[in-house]
Each structure stands twice: as structure tokens, then as C-alpha cells.
Amino acid sequence: MSSLPPRWRKVGRDLWLHKSRTLLVVAAIVVGIVGSGAVLDSWWLLRGVTREQYRASNPANATLRVDGIDGALLARVRRLPMVRQVQARRTVAASAAVEGAWRAAILFVYDDPRRIAIGGVNREDGAWPPPDGAVVVEASSREYARVGLGSTLTLQVGGGPPAALPVAGVARDVGLAPGWMENVVYAFVSRATLARLGVEPSLDELQLTVRGDAFDRDAVRRTAFAVKAEVEAAGHRVRDVDVPVPGRHVHAAQINSLLMTQGAFGVLALLSSGLLVVNLITAMLAGQVREIGVMKAIGARGGQLAAMYLVLAAALGLAACAIGLPAAAWIGRRYAELNAELLNFDLGSASLAPAIILPQLAAGALLPVLAAAVPILRGCRIAVGEALRDFGIAPPATQASRRPRSNGRLARPLLLALRNAFRRRQRTVLTLLTLAVGGAVYVGALNLRAAVRGSVDLLFGGQRFDVVVRLARPYPPLELETAARAVDGVARAEAWAGARAVVQHGDGTLGNAFALTAPPAGSPLFAPRLERGRWARAGAAELVVGRRLVDDEPGLRVGDAVPLLVAGRPSRWRVVGLVDSGPSPQAYTTREALAPLVGAGVATLLVDARLDGAAAQVDLLQRLRGELEARGLEVQSGQLMAQQRKVIEDHLLMVVAFLGIMGQLTILVGGLGLASTMSLAVLERTREIGVLRAIGARHGAILALVQVEGLVVALGGWLAALPLSLVTSVLLGEAFGRVMFRVPVRLLPDAAGVLRWLALVVVVSLLACAWPAWRATRIPTAAALAYE
Amino acid sequence: MSEPLIVMRNVSKRYGTPAGSFLALADVSLTVERGGFVAVVGQSGSGKSTLLSLLAGIDRPSQGEIWLGGTAVHLLPERALSAWRGRAVGIVFQFFQLLPTLTALENVMLPMDFCAAWPSRERRPRALALLERLGVADQADKLPATLSGGQQQRVAVARALANAPAVLLADEPTGNLDSRTAAGMLELLAVLARDGQTVVMVTHERDALRFAGRAITLVDGRVAANEALLSNVHGDAVHV
């Protein structure tokens, strides 16, 4: 230190002697680094893991649903020159007993689970491949199935015997949508286990990867249809062909939107932190004006002074990096784990690389330098005479006419506080803006929370039934409905038809399969909100398409005629309406319109219960299941809508809660800004406070003066946040809509939201001003009057 | 006879204030010889501090010329002023204006650091020598807040002399000192002048005149008198 030139010693000692202000600046930068760094780290981890694991899984370029795949067929397809790899799989719809009720399950069986070449499955815990007589649960279903390694999962397929199977392992298939989100228990079993469940263990899915350009969807589709022709030539029936968008994970849009939303928050956190740093550095320089004047008077050049203060700012940034970067890495990893869980990836041991840490270090060091550059350059350009004459704040007399005036109703101390709040306008505006940005995020998150709740209401609001029962095979609708009505507590029952359908494109290829659901015409149990058009008429070949399906098949426009393959049969339909039907591709028609194609039998029964409460509905489901089975109607699974809703809502609100925390963090930055502004205001007005004390102002009056001034700024921030929240609400709503499902953007906060934000800002203001106000009351009158 | 160190020709300074324009100095012309000890005296508001600010390049004249050591101060661009001031002028302020976070020694080294007038290894011994000369070497490692007013002012003078300036400008150097300490400070300035250091001091105390060689009296921004004094540090000033 002794060899250091005096000016650099001054820099170090200024930091040390003004510890509270130094800590405040460091804290502000730490908040910015943690906010943006956590988002960036999380983005890096998620992007790396989703890309890496998805590519490593070697996803299928096409999947053909084929009856009775055998070794000869596999060998025949493998010989085709355009096919790179082929494997056979079976997916079986089943039921899993969870907490006394049956939930939908899908079982996967592979021809050779030791060598899964396409759509890899990663063992996470326990055994792989699935041992005979045991089950391996898919990681994203573990929570939904309420099982863990060593516990037992009871499975049943159709009317087969239920089997309590030990859970021998946990594995993850990153190509699947999460089980908790789909309300499905995914599990892997061996062929022998499948046989034990009473199912003939043949395989029915042919998964392919192709040679040539695997990223050209049309080329892949042509190859898939050539394979289809070959398979049919071998005497097998192909039920449908699925060609996903090449190289794109099923959740690619969600991942991108999630990362975009996070990025927006990172920018906001950095912005509000930057505003605070500008304010604090300006405040710091304001306290140094006279010293700058003295240094200039003894020969310091503007450049030398600017270098001193810029190095000081960079030192603050580096100190903040030392605290903020490890914290950001920790929070980023936790948040990435949460998001990975939402998208069915495993973060595993993925770690941050220098390529993502170094830019953060540079940004952390440069943020205060950039934020401080303008105030520093302005401060260092100040004329010596002006700097030496600096004695606090004295706005030009010409501004007097714009100051708040007393109309006789405002008390003098209140008027003084109001005027004081606007004496340093730039500083006041910066403080106010920092608070407003925090408030806008907070109110935006509140709006989004309400919108998400509203959207879940909307999604489930159209589904006016409480229980869904899936049958093992189709039965006459009347038989199902009669059985259900015989159960005590059932208000209404309806049997719905359904089929898998694909769009036939003009070039002869087929689109991806989607669910075509068909309630009876005029169903009182189903009334989704139509975005466009009208509902399908009874018996007419009319379709109402879901928005997600339109995303996959943009050609489905209301009014257009469209050729479909429904359960393998060609038919022509007219699109008459558009609805928002949630995250899966769906379309709707009437049971009567579907019957000619799939037969009169249906396999889904929906019940509107007279009973409320989870326990009563679980009991109803058990009795309903008993009644159906007593009549020889084989049940595959049964589910309560309330459970489905809760699982979806819990996970969605977890994301919204994160946004709320980010909002609170930015409000904290705003509070720090207000605290620093008021501390400086007290310092600058030391002499004025002395005068007030000398003419009789008591402690309470001084305290109120500072608190009211802070409150005026805080209320300005409160007000400014309201219009700003329009922007954040739109951005958040749009981004969330892409991640999960479209939510109606809610622009205006409700009265409760506005009042909560008001209460929060008042508390933040009172806390932020407490220390400066207390310090103002501790200044002895004589010392205040002598203050230079 | 050699060239005068300071030449002011028809210098005026006008300030804009909320109440209107204010003429602080009106058509002032004067010269100061090298090694002289000039006291600028006058009532409060007479323009004496303005005159000092113009000489130091802290303010700029509204009109007229200021030459110091052959440099046209009134023409120097703002960027060059600081460097010029650091080498050519040493300033002593009424309120000392030592930087509170630096020790006495570091305060004295600071102008040498900014102007690089001395190689870095020579700065510390030179600063110590200056403090020694001013009788406050034993306070070298103390912060200004722990020093008395007189000691602070001596450190401020040492700092003003750090770069061996052509002229020492002192603005009310005794204004914040008790009478005994003030006398000691004036005696010190007189000794410096006797050793060849040009000193221009602004003061409103007539007593200070007995230490100066010339007195310039300002009244309402104009030079009312410019008189040589026969003075010594032990006797009264004699106007000639």
C-alpha cells in the first residue's frame, strides 16, 4: 500500500471509510448479477442438457404403427437402403393403482431393451433392463404414480389380472412429455411381464432413423411411406405414420419460450440494478464534488480523476462478482433443475463452463463502470470554481414556480417534504424508475398468476364432468350410460367416442396422428370456449380443431374442407370451429358423426357427480368401477378431474411463483435505491436540518420530514409501475402462453393487486427511510450548522 | 529589470445570478514581480477572491488578459488548465481543503502524483522535506481530522509548494485560525517570500499588511489602491 500513489490510496480509503455506501453499491450489483446470472446459468445448463440429451437419445425420424411386428419384418426393413436403423416397440394402455384409484398408464416394451438404438432410455436408479416380473418407472411419472425404488406398483391391462409389481428401477425417456403433465404413469416392462398382465407380447411400433438428410421432413416422410409400402407388401397392416419435426424436441417451443422469459427477467434485474448503481455512483460523486474541485485545483486532470472513479466502480463490480457469481450459479442450477423437471430432462452433473462464467465476470465488473461513466465524466468535467463552491443543493430560482405550492390546506412540514422530494430531479426520477420496474414485474407476475388460474378455469370450465373412466374395449353407449346412472351420486353420464386421426396432405403423405374426441351432439358436459366459428352439428362431418393441432397443421382453417384418415379410413371433413384445448393436438366432432367410421361402440365414460369433495368422488369412482365390472364392462382406468387440475395448476404456479420472486427481488433493488437516495439527501441537507432544529423542529418532525419525502418518491414509483405493468403483463402472458398454453393476457391488475403493491411500496419506503431518518435526528444542531 | 511574473490587463468578471448580472471585477490591471509578497485586501464582496480565482485559472475572465510566467492563462483550454495549474500555481484555501482520507504526507504527495513533476521515488522524501520545512513533519502520518487548524494550514501550504510553483496563491489563509496561529502563518508566508517564492494573498485583515511587500486594495471590484509597503515581520506596514 505504501508504494501505491496517493490517488489510488484515496480510492481504497474512500471505499473503506464509506463502508455503508460501498456495501449498498455492492449489494445492488450483487442483486443484478444474481438476477441475470442465475437466469443465464440456468439457460446455459438447460440448453446444453436438452440439446445433448435429446441428440444423445437419437430420436426416431419416423414411427409406424404396425400390426404384429416379427423378426422377419424387422430384418426386411433393416435391409432397405434408405433406412439407417430400425427397432420395434410396443406401447400398451393400462391402469395403475395409485392411492386407491386407478390412473391411466402406458407401458413400453422393447424388442431388445439392452440395446435401444433409437429414442434412448437412460437408467437413473436401480435396474435396467426391466427384470421379468418387475417394472421400471419413467422418472417424470414417479411423483404422479407415488412410487419409488423398492415400492410396489399395481398394474392392470384391460380386463386382465391386476399384478402388484416391484419397482426395480427408474429410467428417463427425454422424448416423452412429462408424465405428471400428461396425467399418465409411464413404465417399462419386459415381454414376460406383459404376458403376466394377460397381454399377448407382440410389438406394434416400428421406429426408424433414415439415411440422407434426416432434417428434411418431406424427405423423411417420403422414406417413411416407402417403408410403409414395404411393410404392407410383407402382409402387415400399417395403422398410421408419425413424422415429427426433425431435430426438434417435442418441447422445443416451450424450452425456447421459457428461456426467453427468463432472459427478459435477467435483463430487467440487470436494468434495475444498473439504475440503482447509476444513482449510487451519482450520489457518491455528489459527496466528492468539493474534493474533485480541490484535486483539480492542485493539478489533477479530468482524465486522471475519471480513471480514479472508474477504477473505483470496477473494484465495486469485482467485489460484487465475488459474492454474486457463486450465488447466481447456485440459484441458476436450482432453477434449471426445476425447469428440467418440467420438460422431462435430468440436469445430472451438468456444470457451468468458463464460457458462461467469464462474460458474467466481465459484465459484473463493467456494469458499474458503464452505469457510472456518465455521472463520472460529468462530475469530472465540473469547473473547479463550481466544485469548490459546492454546498449541497440549490436549484435555480426559476424553478420555484414549478414547485408544489401551499394552498393553505397542506401543513408546512408536509409541503417542505414534497418540495424536497423534487429538488434533485434526476436522482428522484432514477429512484422512482427503479422502484417502478420492480413494481411492474411484481404486478405483471400477479396478473400472470390470475391469468394462469383463469386459463386453467377456462380449460377445465368447458369440461363439466368430474370423473373419466376408460374402458378396455368399445361398448354400446347406452349400456355404459345406463350402468353409470345406476350408481348413487351420479348426476349425469355420457359415453364418448374417440379415434386417432391423421390429415392426408395433397402430396399423398400423412400428418401426425391426433386425438379426435366425439361427445354426443348437444352434450351438456362439454362446452369449450369457441375462439372462432361454431360447434359441429349432429351427424355432420364437421370438425372443431384445437389450437395446438393448428400449430402442427397450419392448413386447418375454419371453413376449409380437409381429408382425414380416421382409424385408418379415408373421409372428408369441414373445419367449422377453433378452440383452445390445452397442450395436446386435438380435434372434436359429434359421436353421431364418428360412428360410421369407428362403429357404434365407445370406450370413454364421463360422469358429472352430485358429490363434492375428493374423498366422496374417490368413493364414487370405486363404486362406478365396481358397477361397470359387475355388468361385464372391462375398465381400463378411472380418473378424477380435480386431481388432474391440481397437478397441472401446481406445476404452472411454480413457474409463476418464480416470476413473483424475481419481482420482489427487483423491488428490493428499488428499496436499496430509495435508502441510498434518502441517506444522501440527509447528508446534503445537514445544514438545513440544523436550521430546522435551531428554530424548534422536534425529532418527530425531522423523522416525518425524511419519511414523507421517501414516501412521495415511493408513491411516484407505485404510480409509474401501473402503466409499466401493462408491458410486463403482455410479455409474460405471451411467453407463458408459448411455454405452457395460451392464457388470455390480463392487462389491468385487479384492485386487490394494486392495493397489495401499494402496501408493499409503503412498507419498503418506511423501511428504506428508517435509517436515514434516524440519522437525521442524531445530528447535533451545532455540528449541523457548522457543516461545510 | 526582469519581466513581471503576473500581468493582468483590463480584466473584468461578470457573474449571472438569479437576481441578474453582477460585476465582480471591473477593468482591473496590475502586475506582480517575481519574489513579491502581495496582499489583496478589501471588504467582503469587493472582488478579491474573484481576482485570486482568475489568477489560479479556476474562473475565466469575462474580458481582459491574464499572463502568468509568460503563459496566457485566459487563452488556455479547460483541458490544459489543470496541468498548468498543478505546476505553475500553488493554492492555499481558507478551509485548508485537505483530502480527509489521505494522511498529511499523502496530501502533500498528491500534486506530485497528478503532475508527475518529480520521479516517483523522489516524491516521498520531497514531501517529508516540505513538511519538515513547515514544522509539521511529526504529523506526516496523521489524517487531517486529527490535526489542529494551524497544523492543517501548514500541511496545506506544503501541498501548495509540492510542485515548486511559480506563485503561491493564498485565499484568506488565516480566516479560520486563531490570532496567534494566524500570525505564525503570515510569518511563514513572509519567510517563503523572502526566500524567493512569489506569494499573492487575499485577506480582509489589515493586520496582515505588515507582512506583505505590496498591498492592492479593491473596492467594488476596482483597484482603489496599489501601494508598496515597507514591511518586516516584526514591524508595522509603512505605506510609500
The average confidence (pLDDT) of chain A is 82
**Partner residue facing B115 (CB), from A14, A297, A299:** A299
Check the CA dihedral A231-A233-A235-A241 and report its sign: positive
Rounded Cα distance, A333 and A34, in Å = 12
Single-letter code of the amino acid located at A70: D
Give the list of residues 6+ apart from residue B120 with CB closer than 8 angstroms, or none: A5
More confident residue, A610 or A414: A610
Say what the pLDDT of residue A787 is: 52
Rounded Cα distance, B42 and B45, in Å = 8
**How many cross-chain Cβ pairs, A to B, lie less than 8 Å apart?**
85
Give yes or no for residue A13 having a pLDDT over 80. yes
Substitution target from B101, B131, B171 for chain A, most A beta carbons within 10 A: B101
**Partner residue facing A298 (CB), from B59, B78, B114:** B114
pLDDT tens digits, B176-193: 778 788 888 888 889 889
Which burial class, exposed, middle or buried, applies to A752 when counting CB atoms under 10 A from its CB (0-12, 13-18, 19+)? exposed
Rounded Cα distance, A265 and B105, in Å = 50
Give yes or no for residue A21 having a pLDDT over 50. yes
Give the list of residues 6+ apart from residue A737 with CB closer than 8 angstroms, or none: A743, A745
Rounded mean pLDDT of A148-161?
Answer: 86
What residues of chain B lie within 8 A of the CB of A17, using their CB? 101
Q: Which of residues 289-308 of A touch B (CB under 8 A)?
A: 290-291, 294-302, 304
Cell numbers at residue B192, please? 517563503
Residue A188 Rama label (left phi>0; alpha psi -120 to 50; beta): beta
Give the list of residues 6+ apart from residue A71 with CB closer than 8 angstroms, or none: none
- Choose from A217-221, A420-424, A479-483 the range with maximum mean pLDDT: A479-483
Say what the pLDDT of residue A784 is: 61
Which burial class, exposed, middle or buried, applies to A194 when counting CB atoms under 10 A from its CB (0-12, 13-18, 19+)? buried
**Partner residue facing B110 (CB), from A298, A301, A385:** A298
More confident residue, A690 or A321: A321
Cell numbers at residue A696, please? 424548534
Q: CB–CB of A298 and B101 under 8 A?
A: no
- Choose from A91-105, A602-616, B115-129 the range with maximum mean pLDDT: B115-129
Q: Closest chain B residue to A13 measured between Cα atoms? A: B101
Q: CB–CB of B86 and A398 under 8 A?
A: no
Residue B148: DSSP 8-state: -
Q: CB–CB of B114 and A397 under 8 A?
A: no
**pTM metric for this prediction:** 0.66
pLDDT tens digits, A202-222: 888 999 999 887 778 888 888
Rounded Cα distance, A721 and A108, in Å = 52
Percentage with pLDDT > 70 across chain A: 89
Give yes or no for residue A772 having a pLDDT over 80. yes
Give yes or no for residue A399 having a pLDDT over 50. no
Is A570 in CB contact (< 8 Å) with chain B? no
pLDDT tens digits, A514-571: 889 999 988 888 888 888 999 999 889 999 998 878 887 888 899 999 999 887 788 9
CB A338 within 8 A of CB A45: no
The average confidence (pLDDT) of chain B is 87
